[in-house]
Structure 1
Amino acid sequence: MIKERLISLDVFRGVTILFMIIVNNPGSWSFIYPPLKHADWNGCTPADLVFPFFIFIMGTAIPFAMPAKTFDNAAFNKIIVRSLRIFCLGLFLNFFSKIELFSLEGIPLLFGRLAITFGVSYALMGNFSLKVKTYLALSIFGILLFLAFSGIEEYREVRIPGVLQRIGIVYFFVSLLYLKTTQKTQLLTASVLLLVYWGIMALVPVPGIGTANFEINTNLAAWLDNELLPGHLWVYTKTWDPEGILSTIPAIASGISGLLIGQLLNRSLPQLEIIKKMVIGGLTITVLGIVWSTIFPINKSLWTSSYVLYTSGLAILCLTVLYYVIDVANYKRWSTLFLIWGVNPMIVFFFSGIIPKVLRMIEFKNPEITAKTINLQDYFYSSCIAPFFNNPMSASLVFAILNVILWSFILWLFYKNKLIFKV
Structure 2
Amino acid sequence: MAQPVTSKRLYSLDALRGFDMFWIMGAEEIFHALAKATGSPFWGGIAEELSHPAWNGFHFYDLIFPLFLFMAGVATPFSVGRELEKGKSRNELVLRVIKRGLILVLLGVIYNNGLHLRPFSDIRFGSVLGRIGIAYMFANIIYLFTKQRAQIIWFISILIGYWLLLKFNSAPGYPRGDLSMEGNFASYIDRHLIPGRLYLGIHDPEGLVSAIPAISTGLLGIMAGNFLKLNDASGPKKSLYLIISGVISILLAHIWNLDFPINKNLWSSSFVLNVGGYSLCLLGIFYYIIDVLGYKKWAFFFKVIGMNSILIYMSGAFINWTYTTNGFFQWVGQLIGDPYNAVVMAVCYVLVKWAFLYFMYKKNIFLRV
TM range (shorter): 0.7 to 0.9
Distance 1:323 1:79 in 2: 26
Asked if 1:88 corresponds to 2:106, the answer is yes
- CA-to-aligned-CA distance 1:149-207 (integer Å, 9 cap, x gap): xxxx6332110110000111011111111111111111110111111111111111322
Q: 1:260 to 1:383 in 2, by over 3 A?
A: same
Asked if 1:291 corresponds to 2:255, the answer is yes
**Is 2:27–2:350's contact at 8 Å kept on the other side of the alignment?**
no
Distance 2:95 2:242 in 1: 33
Distance 1:397 1:224 in 2: 43
Asked if 1:281 corresponds to 2:245, the answer is yes
- How far 1:279 sits from its partner (Å)? 2.1
Which residue matches 2:265? 301
Asked if 1:266 corresponds to 2:229, the answer is yes
Please provide the CA RMSD for this pair.
2.8
Which residue matches 2:41? none
Which residue matches 1:55? 69
Q: 1:346 to 1:379 in 2, by over 3 A?
A: closer
Paired-residue identity, %: 30
- CA-to-aligned-CA distance 1:366-393 (integer Å, 9 cap, x gap): xxxxxxxxxx6999899985995655xx
For the residue of structure 2 that corresponds to 1:421, the secondary structure is coil
Tell me the TM-score normalised to structure 1 length.
0.76
Asked if 1:249 corresponds to 2:212, the answer is yes
Which residue matches 2:315? 351
Which residue matches 1:121? none
Distance 2:275 2:226 in 1: 19
- How far 1:276 sits from its partner (Å)? 2.8
- How far 1:404 sits from its partner (Å)? 1.4
**Is 1:91–1:162's contact at 8 Å kept on the other side of the alignment?**
yes
Distance 2:27 2:293 in 1: 31
2:49 to 35, 39, 48: 35
Question: Where do 1:35-184 residues align within 5 Å?
Answer: 35-66=49-80, 67-69=82-84, 71-96=89-114, 99-100=116-117, 154-184=119-149
**Is 2:330–2:345's contact at 8 Å kept on the other side of the alignment?**
no
**Is 1:37–1:47's contact at 8 Å kept on the other side of the alignment?**
yes
Which residue matches 2:192? 227
- How far 1:61 sits from its partner (Å)? 0.6
- The one-letter code sitting in structure 2 at the alignment partner of 1:34 is E
Structure 1: which 4+ aligned runs deviate by more than 4 Å?
Answer: 23-32, 376-391, 394-399
Distance 1:182 1:47 in 2: 33
2:156 to 191, 195, 206: 191
Q: 1:379 to 1:399 in 2, by over 3 A?
A: closer
Which deviates more from structure 2 when the two are superposed, residues 159-168 or residues 62-71? 62-71
- CA-to-aligned-CA distance 1:47-106 (integer Å, 9 cap, x gap): 111001001111001111121435433212211111111111111112217x14xxxxxx
- The one-letter code sitting in structure 1 at the alignment partner of 2:94 is F
**Is 1:62–1:175's contact at 8 Å kept on the other side of the alignment?**
yes
- The one-letter code sitting in structure 2 at the alignment partner of 1:179 is L
Which residue matches 2:361? 415
Asked if 1:404 corresponds to 2:350, the answer is yes
Q: 1:377 to 1:304 in 2, by over 3 A?
A: farther
Which residue matches 1:334? 298
- How far 1:251 sits from its partner (Å)? 0.6
- How far 1:282 sits from its partner (Å)? 1.0
- CA-to-aligned-CA distance 1:345-400 (integer Å, 9 cap, x gap): 110111124335x97xxxxxxxxxxxxxxxx6999899985995655xx6655444
- How far 1:331 sits from its partner (Å)? 1.1
Which residue matches 1:205? 170
Distance 2:194 2:163 in 1: 22
Q: 1:204 to 1:414 in 2, by over 3 A?
A: same
- How far 1:13 sits from its partner (Å)? 0.3
Q: How many residues align?
A: 349
Distance 2:318 2:272 in 1: 29
**Is 1:25–1:399's contact at 8 Å kept on the other side of the alignment?**
no
**Is 2:308–2:357's contact at 8 Å kept on the other side of the alignment?**
yes
**Is 2:126–2:206's contact at 8 Å kept on the other side of the alignment?**
yes
- CA-to-aligned-CA distance 1:33-56 (integer Å, 9 cap, x gap): 212211111111111110010011
Tell me the TM-score normalised to structure 2 length.
0.86
**Is 1:27–1:396's contact at 8 Å kept on the other side of the alignment?**
no
Distance 1:295 1:398 in 2: 44
Which residue matches 1:314? 278
Distance 1:404 1:301 in 2: 27
Distance 1:192 1:49 in 2: 23
**Is 1:157–1:233's contact at 8 Å kept on the other side of the alignment?**
no
Distance 2:326 2:225 in 1: 45
**Is 1:206–1:212's contact at 8 Å kept on the other side of the alignment?**
no
2:289 to 322, 325, 347: 325
Largest Rg, 1 or 2: 1
Which deviates more from structure 2 when the two are superposed, residues 85-94 or residues 310-319? 85-94
For the residue of structure 2 that corresponds to 1:58, the secondary structure is helix
